[in-house]
Structure 1
Amino acid sequence: MVLLKGYDENGFVWYTNYESRKAHELSENPHASLLFYWDGLNRQVRVEGSVEKVSDEESEQYFHSRPRGSQLGAIVSKQSTVVSGRNVLHDLYKELEGKYSDGSLIPKPNYWGGYRLKPELFEFWQGQKSRLHDRLQYSPEESNGQRVWRIERLAP
């Protein structure tokens, strides 16, 4: 699970540790899906596409827009690795907190940055009591030199 931090005409962006399990998986297979689920509405949107790293400049800009505590946490957490105890994380955090207590710029670690998923398919799903859920799939195609969305209804 990731926290979506932005979207624009180029895709959906999130940030993470480039040495995490999900990052290693993306390096081997740069395709992913995002799922937005609203239980109370009985709806979801699924987005599939190719994934690439965002630029260092974009990662740097976002890193320094975060609260200082979140910046320190990104340095402390070697995401997905085994730690001997929570105290190890707290001790390292306190050490870094002291090191940067003068308000100096906290450097973004090289192993931390963003990814962008470029949408290649959207599926809109609305659940039905009959279990005949409503599913619409949107996929891009070229028509007369323009990108248009082909809409297909899928069986539940």
Structure 2
Amino acid sequence: MTGDQGWRRRVEYAGAGLGEEQLAATPFQQISRWVQEARARQQEHGDVPEPDALSVATVDETGPDVRTVLMRFLDPRGPGFVTNLTSTKGRQLAARPQLAASLTWPSMFRAIRFRGVAEIVDRGEVEDYFRQRPWGARISAWASHQSAPATGRAALEQAYQEYAERFPDHGHPVDVPVPEHWGGVRLRPDRVEFWAGRVNRLHDRLVLTRVGEGNLDDAASWSLTRLQP
């Protein structure tokens, strides 16, 4: 198989699908179920390299922008991630809080899509999470001016070493303070889609759209629709 023929390879999406009768009672329960099953599959089979990988799409005056982060928060308010708030995505969200994200597990033929608005995570929650990070990851939050141009790898390594000396590792959660510019972003969804691959491309697409002010664990706040694949 050479040239253009390599891109014509077809994979049959032999997933279990998702019927309306299988859907959990609330969006949060269904999200949690799939996330837990993806994490379990990684432990058992190893074919879900990063079950919490979250593709995040923002928009600015030039158009859409997407990148992959790690989902660090998940509760009935919505999924969330941590970032330098002065980074590109941080600035984009400050100007335009519209946010879309997706969790995708190709080996399981599953994906969850979210659309909604961005909210800054409470500082106390951010501090609690930050103290759980490995010491080295806490140091890098200080050393990296995320999204800013870098003069080279050596300068980044030097900055890391300087902060490592400033905040030495004594094995305590508070060895490294939380930088003021570092925080969390939560997506408050107005729409959640569960995609489940099926054979012959007859995939299941079940969409829950907000019709009330409740969170993801309030069944009355969501309306169910099935979309054509």
Q: For the Cα contact (< 8 Å) 1:140–1:147, is it kept in 2?
A: no
Instruction: Tell me the residue number matched to 1:122.
Output: 192
Q: For the Cα contact (< 8 Å) 2:168–2:175, is it kept in 1?
A: no
Q: Counterparts in 2 of 1:46-85, with a 5 A limit?
A: 46-85=113-152
CA shift, 1:8, in A, is 1.0
CA shift, 1:102, in A, is 6.3
In structure 1, list runs of 5 or more residues that go unmatched. none
In structure 2, list runs of 5 or more residues that go unmatched. 1-67, 213-218
CA shift, 1:78, in A, is 0.6
CA shift, 1:51, in A, is 0.9
Q: TM-score, normalised by structure 2?
A: 0.62
Q: Counterparts in 2 of 1:6-155, with a 5 A limit?
A: 6-101=73-168, 103=170, 105-142=175-212, 147-155=220-228
Q: For the Cα contact (< 8 Å) 1:123–1:135, is it kept in 2?
A: yes
Q: Output one character per residue of 1:81-110: Cα deviation in whole Å (capped at 9) or x when no partner.
A: 111111111111111111222637322111
Q: TM-score, normalised by structure 1?
A: 0.89
Q: For the Cα contact (< 8 Å) 2:111–2:195, is it kept in 1?
A: yes
Q: Output one character per residue of 1:31-66: Cα deviation in whole Å (capped at 9) or x when no partner.
A: 212211111122211111111101222222222221
Count of matched residue positions in the alignment of Structure 1 and Structure 2: 153
Question: Could you tell me how far apart the structure 2 residues matched to 1:117 and 1:64 are?
Answer: 22
Report which of the two has the higher share of helix.
Answer: 2
CA shift, 1:131, in A, is 2.8
Question: Could you tell me how far apart the structure 1 residues matched to 2:154 and 2:97 are?
Answer: 35
Where does structure 1 differ by over 6 angstroms across 4 or more consecutive aligned residues?
Answer: none
Q: For the Cα contact (< 8 Å) 2:192–2:208, is it kept in 1?
A: yes
Q: For the Cα contact (< 8 Å) 2:135–2:169, is it kept in 1?
A: no
CA shift, 1:3, in A, is 0.6
Root-mean-square deviation (CA, aligned residues, Å) is: 1.8
Question: Share of identical aligned residues, percent?
Answer: 36
